[in-house]
Structure 1
Amino acid sequence: MKEFVVYTALRIALFVGSLALVLGLWWAIAGEVPVLWAVVIAFVLSGLGSLWLLNGPREAFALRVQERASKASKAFEEMKAKEDAD
C-alpha cells in the first residue's frame, strides 16, 4: 500500500508542477491562458516525465503488486488442492 501512495503522490506532484510551469510560461508569453489547453499539455508533459523520473517508484509498486498476486494465487491453489482432497 505504501508504494501505491508514494507513486500516486509523486504523479500528482509531477502533474501540479507541470501545470504550474505551463501556466506560468503561457501567461508570460501570451498574457492570456486557455486553461483547458494548459491542463492537456501539462497532462502530456507529466505523463512523459513520469516515464523517466518515476521509474524507481513504479518498479517498486509493480513488484509489490506482483508479490501480492502470487500470494493470492498460492492461497487459491492451496484451497483448491484441499477441496480436491476432501
Structure 2
Amino acid sequence: MLTLLSPAKDLNMDPVTGVKGATKPELLADAEVLHGKLKGMSAKQLAKLMHINPKLAELNHDRYQEWAPPFTARNSKTA
C-alpha cells in the first residue's frame, strides 16, 4: 500500500451542519499503525521526514499527539 501524508497548514474544523451520519474510515487500522509511528517522532524528525519547516512540523506534531479514536463530531470532520 502507498500512503500519502499531507502536512497541511490549515484544516477547516468548523462544525458541519446537515450531515446525517458518518461512516467508519475504511483504512482505520492502517492509519492507526502509521499514526503510532508518527506520534513517537519529534517535531524535528517530522520536519526532516516530510521536508517541511519547523513551524509546520510542530503544528503537525501537535495534531498527531491529539489524534485519537473514537472519532466524533467534536474531534473529527466528514470528508
TM-score range, shorter chain: under 0.3
TM-score when normalising by structure 2:
0.26
User: Whose helix fraction is larger, Structure 1's or Structure 2's?
Assistant: 1
Higher Rg of the two aligned structures: 1
